Amino acid sequence: MDGQISSALKGDMRSLKLASLAPFLFVLLWSTGFVGAKYGLPFADPFAFLAIRVFIAALILFVVAGLLRAPIRIGTSAIIRSAFIGFCLHALYLGGVFFAISKGVPAGTAAVITSLQPVLVSILAVKVLGEKLRAVQLVGLVCGLVGVVMVLGPTFNGSTSIVGISAAFIALFGTTAATLFQKKFGSGIPMLAGTAYQYVASGMFLGVVAIVSGHTHIQWSHKFIAAMVWLILALSVGAVLILLTLLNRGSAASVSSLFYLVPPATAIEAYFLFGEKVNTQGFLGIGITALGVWLVIRKTS
């Protein structure tokens, strides 16, 4: 009996450790999306790139669900809800970000705009989800926003494309709507099948947009294939499943605050991968951002 209790406790401890690492793994994986876009977009039109990416991700998830004997037939209502979440999260958000970058908007500028998401989610969650914000969480949200602007504010310039900036704001709307809708209506949908249907719906939309607009060019180079493989496995499968799991288990405001850490993480990655410098202001902003996220997600006594 003592041995069984000991084994159960060890299992619980391992689960707790994995759960505590999940937010940091999500930030690490999600932040590489801008790096993947920078590598892949020179070789493909954005909507064609994304359509292929999400269709392959859907196929992978259906196969995994079948191997694990997880439910694939989830009912018409669940498919419709998944399709709407996928349209917002993958078609609007990813499509907006990729299109903005393809129009010359710096990745840092796009990251700053989409990093307004925690503020919008936290405000709307009070009304839509009935969540409550503590005073210390409000302070944390402000700290996070200030930190992000300090890190990436210098990337703004007057020559940035208005169309590209508009696309980045559409991406902001998409990720905000997807977060709220997933939290309110998506928690009961089987994770693997629901996410796969998200990709099918968004892939169909993105494919139609690519064909209608005539932007279907893809150059299958080694760099493009490497970027595609990474974005599918690390982002479309790994990071998205972690995000949906976190939303199912935590408040929308707490999970959304993690997006504040994405631009600073991207800045650090760009420093090591592309030699882009992070000045003293940038490092100070990273520290303020981390403090803000900690204030939002920390547990009360």
pLDDT at 84: 95
Name every residue whose Cβ is closer than 8 Å to that of residue 289 and which is 6 or more positions away in sequence.
143, 144, 147, 148, 151, 260, 261, 263, 264
Q: Contact at 8 Å (CB) between 23 and 246?
A: yes
pLDDT of residue 78: 94
pLDDT at 217 exceeding the cut of 60: yes
Integer Cα distance of 196 and 255 in angstroms? 22
Kindly tell me the sign of the dihedral angle through the C-alpha atoms of 54, 60, 64, 65: positive
Q: What is the mean pLDDT of residues 270-293?
A: 74
Greatest Cα pair distance in the chain: 70
Confidence of residue 301 (pLDDT cuts 50, 70, 90): very low
Q: Are 194 and 82 in contact (CB under 8 A)?
A: yes
State the residue for tokens 């547990």. Answer: 299
Answer yes or no: is pLDDT of 45 > 70. Answer: yes
pLDDT value at residue 274: 66
Read off the amino acid at residue 171: A
Distance CA 104, CA 97 (A): 11
Amino acid at 107: A
Cβ(297)–Cβ(159) under 8 Å? Answer: no
Reported as a single tens digit per residue, the pLDDT across 140-179 is 888 888 887 776 666 555 556 788 888 988 999 999 999 9
pLDDT value of position 219: 95
Looking at residue 224, what is its pLDDT?
Answer: 94
Please report the pLDDT score of residue 12 as a whole number.
45
pTM (predicted TM-score) = 0.80
Q: Which of 19, 86, 23 is nearest to 57 (CA)?
A: 86
237 has pLDDT over 50: yes
- Cβ atoms 204, 253 nearer than 8 A: no
d(CA 59, CA 200): 9
Question: Which range, of 106-120, 172-186, 223-237, averages the lowest pLDDT?
Answer: 106-120
Q: What pLDDT is attached to residue 252?
A: 77
Cβ contacts of 65-68, under 8 Å, gap ≥ 24: 65/190, 65/192, 65/193, 65/196, 68/192
Q: Output the pLDDT for position 272.
A: 79
Percentage of the chain beyond pLDDT 90 is 39
Looking at residues 11-29, what average pLDDT do you find?
A: 70
**Of 70, 59, 97, which is closest to residue 197 (Cα–Cα)?**
59
pLDDT of residue 256 exceeding 50, the answer is yes
Amino acid of residue 108: G
> Residue 136's pLDDT is what?
85
Look at 138-142, 225-229, 230-234, 273-277 and tell me which has the smallest mean pLDDT: 273-277
Q: Which of 71-75, 260-264, 282-286, 291-295 has the highest mean pLDDT?
A: 71-75
Check pLDDT > 50 for residue 8: no
Quick check: 271 and 278 in contact, CB under 8 A?
yes
Rounded Cα distance, 270 and 54, in Å: 25
More confident residue, 13 or 222: 222
